[in-house]
Amino acid sequence: MSANHTSIETLRWVGDQDGHLVIIDQTRLPTELVEIELRDADAVWEAIKSLRVRGAPAIGIAAAYGVCLGLQGGGECDEADFWRRLDEVTAHLAASRPTAVNLCWALQRLKETADQHRGQESVALRAALLAEARAIHDEDRQMCRAIGRYGAELLSDGNGVLTHCNAGGLATADYGTALAVFFAAHEAGKRLHVYADETRPLLQGARLTAWELQQRGIDVTLICDSMAAQVMREGRVQAVVTGADRIAANGDVANKIGTYQIALAAAAHEIPFYVAAPTSTFDLSLSSGDQIPIEQRDPAEITHGFGRQTAPDGIQVYNPAFDVTPARLIRAIICEKGIIQPVSEASIAAMFADKPSCS
């Protein structure tokens, strides 16, 4: 495992038009740092579905490159065939993780790009799509830095902070959303102590967040999800920052299961609860969080999660991947355009008046 974080890239495109995508297989962390090559859209679908690449922004980037992979090969092709394949591959990739809106947003951007080049030869169309995927990737890097810059202002030297799941570099193109806030504060000389929830069932906090913070030399303590309220009660935490998978027009936030419970605990202790997410995470077509579809996942993630069976045979399991935190529990949303506070339909509309809804 490399201790040099600057050499770690969550995902990268190798080569040109007929290149391929390389990602860190996040299911192997923290004990192994392994990169895998994805050479067709199915491989990208599988990598997203299996959480080899995860985190809303990173999923969006991977899906954009996945469209390029799905349209590779065959040189010049029939125009009707190109558009049929584009529809097929975007529909397929969109179904890999139903909650992450960035996925739909990235796919929509690629379809719009293709539309703008309608009538051109398929080689030119494919070049335009790869350029757009690269633009999404580049914009994400800028987004992470901007979120970090805005969010760092909310933290003070000496703060204890808590986060859930992984909204770090591994969830994005660069250094994350929630973790970007910590990284930027740290770079600005503010000493932080981070409490990282392990985040059952898939332990992204233990495997990924703890690893990323450790790699960057930030003081981090791992806890179980059930310990967050106790850590707050003991006065160890002055702010909570999490990412988001989808944000409705009223500010309700879908994020990793357990986020809502932590927001309730933060409210009970009068600790500010912040969400850090790019504008691509907003889905203004949804008036509230009640309309956000919640992905249900495999029971085996809970019953056989640690390499050993930990529940009786035949047990019923409920395994929602996400929950919805109502806007009233969120002190502010940190996005790359600035800080939305208070969180309300009006304040969101004011910042995102020009944002198209996800279709």
Q: Which residues are catalytic?
A: 245
Element (H, E) at 11: strand 11-14
Q: Which stretch binds a copy of itself (CB under 8 A): 64-72, 243-251, 302-310, 331-339?
A: 302-310
Answer yes or no whether residue 238 interacts with a copy of itself by CB under 8 A. Answer: no
* Cβ at position 259, least distance to a copy of itself in Å: 8
Nearest residue to 177 via CA among 96, 274, 110: 274
Residue with Cβ nearer a copy of itself (128 or 264): 264
Element (H, E) at 23: strand 20-24
Answer yes or no whether residue 206 interacts with a copy of itself by CB under 8 A. Answer: yes
Among 31, 118, 353, 359, binds a copy of itself (CB under 8 A): 31
Answer yes or no whether residue 227 interacts with a copy of itself by CB under 8 A. Answer: yes
Q: Which stretch binds a copy of itself (CB under 8 A): 146-154, 155-163, 180-188, 227-235?
A: 227-235
Q: Which stretch binds a copy of itself (CB under 8 A): 66-74, 173-181, 222-230, 243-251?
A: 222-230
Answer yes or no whether residue 317 interacts with a copy of itself by CB under 8 A. Answer: yes
Is 286 exposed, middle or buried, given 0-12, 13-18 or 19+ CB atoms closer than 10 A? buried
Answer yes or no whether residue 318 interacts with a copy of itself by CB under 8 A. Answer: yes
The residues that bridge with 26 in the sheet, in sequence order, are: none
Answer yes or no whether residue 207 interacts with a copy of itself by CB under 8 A. Answer: yes
Among 140, 245, 323, 336, binds a copy of itself (CB under 8 A): 323
What would the DSSP string read from start to end of 56-84? HHHHHHHHHHHHHHHT-SSSS--HHHHHH
Nearest residue to 257 via CA among 194, 355, 210, 325: 325
Answer yes or no whether residue 296 interacts with a copy of itself by CB under 8 A. Answer: no
Is 208 exposed, middle or buried, given 0-12, 13-18 or 19+ CB atoms closer than 10 A? buried
Answer yes or no whether residue 33 interacts with a copy of itself by CB under 8 A. Answer: no
CA-to-CA separations, 187 to 99, 224, 330, in angstroms, rounded: 32, 27, 25
Among 27, 72, 120, 261, binds a copy of itself (CB under 8 A): 261
Answer yes or no whether residue 271 interacts with a copy of itself by CB under 8 A. Answer: no
Q: Which stretch binds a copy of itself (CB under 8 A): 47-55, 63-71, 179-187, 196-204?
A: 196-204
Among 16, 80, 118, 315, binds a copy of itself (CB under 8 A): 315
Residue carrying the six token digits 């202002």: 153
Among 50, 296, 310, 357, binds a copy of itself (CB under 8 A): 310
Tokens of 17: 């038009």
* Cβ at position 265, least distance to a copy of itself in Å: 5
| Greatest Cα-to-Cα distance within the chain, rounded to the nearest angstrom | 66
Residue carrying the six token digits 């009068």: 270
The C-alpha atoms of residue 122 and residue 114 are separated, in whole angstroms, by 10
CA-to-CA separations, 109 to 67, 135, 177, 294, in angstroms, rounded: 11, 10, 21, 23
Interaction mask 334-353, a copy of itself, x per CB under 8 A: --------------------
* Cβ at position 327, least distance to a copy of itself in Å: 14
Tokens of 81: 């065939």
Residue carrying the six token digits 């757009």: 132
The secondary structure of residue 358, as a DSSP letter, is P
Tokens of 38: 């994805």
Residue with Cβ nearer a copy of itself (283 or 323): 323
Answer yes or no whether residue 65 interacts with a copy of itself by CB under 8 A. Answer: no
Question: Can you give the binding site for a copy of itself, defined by CB under 8 A?
Answer: 30-31, 195, 197-201, 203, 206-207, 210-211, 214, 219-231, 233, 257-258, 260-261, 264-265, 267-268, 302-303, 305-320, 323-324
